[in-house]
């Protein structure tokens, strides 16, 4: 089986909302910066006041690799990419496609979710 995320006190709500089918982006309520990974204080100004804002769900594929040797639970070939969310932060995730050889840098992508047992993980699909 593919791995599932393990929450920490700082990431629990973020992962719980992903389990509910919602991607959020942490935002500092003091300086309005968006950031990822989720944490309890702002990496820009240090304020300990953070809120989770629903993400637009759109992004741009900044980089990717196509893995042809799959670890346990994965089926090759599959793509792993770095996506810049519309809100700014970057997220590394699976890029779900039947044709990984056709992926291109700068492609518009849209958030999706993959079921893994009782959890969900964020992945992306090329936007139509």
- Is residue 53 a contact point for Zn ion (CB under 5 A)? no
- Is residue 30 a contact point for Zn ion (CB under 5 A)? yes
- Is residue 31 a contact point for Zn ion (CB under 5 A)? yes
For residue 42, is the peptide bond before it cis, meaning its omega torsion is within 30 degrees of 0? no
- Is residue 42 a contact point for Zn ion (CB under 5 A)? yes
Query: Least distance from C-beta 27 to Zn ion, angstroms?
Result: 9
CB 16 within 8 A of CB 8: no
From the list 2, 12, 44, 48, which residue makes contact with Zn ion (rule: CB under 5 A)? 44
Half-sphere exposure at residue 70, Cβ-oriented, CA atoms within 13 angstroms: 12
What span, in angstroms and rounded, lies between the C-alpha atoms of 65 and 12?
29
Q: Which is nearer to Zn ion, 7 or 33 (CB)?
A: 33
Query: Least distance from C-beta 28 to Zn ion, angstroms?
Result: 3
109's enclosing H/E stretch is strand 108-116
């Amino acid at each position: 089986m593919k791995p599932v995320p393990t929450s920490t006190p700082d990431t629990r709500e973020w992962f719980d909302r992903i389990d509910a089918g919602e991607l959020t982006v942490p935002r500092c309520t003091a300086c309005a910066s968006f950031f990822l990974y989720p944490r309890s204080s702002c990496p820009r100004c240090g304020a300990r006041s953070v809120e989770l804002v629903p993400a637009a769900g759109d992004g741009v594929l900044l980089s990717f690799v196509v893995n042809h040797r799959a670890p346990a639970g994965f089926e090759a070939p599959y793509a792993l990419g770095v996506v810049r969310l519309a809100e700014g932060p970057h997220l590394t995730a699976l890029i779900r496609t039947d044709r990984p050889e056709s992926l291109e840098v700068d492609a518009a992508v849209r958030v999706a979710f993959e079921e893994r047992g009782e959890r969900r993980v964020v992945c992306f699909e090329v936007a139509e």
